[in-house]
Amino acid sequence: ESRGMAKLSAVDVDLLTHKLSAVVEEARDVYMSLSISEGIITGDMNCGLFTASGDPVVVGTGIYFHTLLNNAQLKYINKYYRDDPSVGLRDGDIYFFNDELAGGVHNMDMFSAMPIFWQGELIAWAECGGHQGETGSITPGGFAPTAKSRYEEGLHIPCMRIGENFLLRRDVLDFMTGAVRNSFVFEADLRSRLATLMRIRERF
């Protein structure tokens, strides 16, 4: 990455930044339009492009709080899953994460990520996510003010591959939707994130 940056002039950087910003800003509009969760629709979300190593390049968001909520998980995947023979990392993989102890903020902020490969080499990550709400906690709707431990807050997933070959796995989807009260909204928003990731990848 450092060698690549050294080859760019200030004008090159400005043009590239503008083009990449346009990609994530379009993705933000796509995600907000497709989602049926109030939080996403009102801008409690983000869409971003990250380097192969998991550092943010450009992020389109509704609130600035969401600018840096998701690079820790990409670094985790690179470090622990990419070279693990039981997991690995391939073009078309789809990951999900929402665990605050794995780099998030709270488990209602649900994110999806997709690696971007070019000629067999990982060159970037596409990512999007936001406040989806229902988590299967002891309180309907996600927020659980009476929870006495994190185990009463519902779904906690640090990093999990939920799709391959650009398709969500039906068995994993059944597991996830079965863990929340409103499976329709959960699945609809998950699919809206996948469509947004595909748009980012296509534009990139």
Q: What pLDDT tens digit does each residue of the chain (204 aa) get?
A: 789 889 999 999 999 999 999 999 999 999 999 999 998 999 999 999 999 999 999 999 888 777 777 778 999 999 999 999 999 999 999 999 998 887 778 888 999 999 999 999 999 999 999 998 888 888 888 788 888 998 898 899 989 999 999 999 999 999 999 999 999 999 999 999 999 999 999 999
The pTM for the full model equals: 0.92
Q: 34: closest CA among 184, 167, 194, 151?
A: 194
Q: Give CA–CA dist 203/23, Å, rounded.
A: 6
Residue of 37, 33, 24, 4 lying closest to 126 (CA atoms):
24
Residue 12 corresponds to which tokens in the numbers above?
């090159």
Contact 158, 75 (CB under 8 A): no
Sequence-distant (≥ 6) Cβ neighbours of residue 181 within 8 angstroms: 134, 136, 140
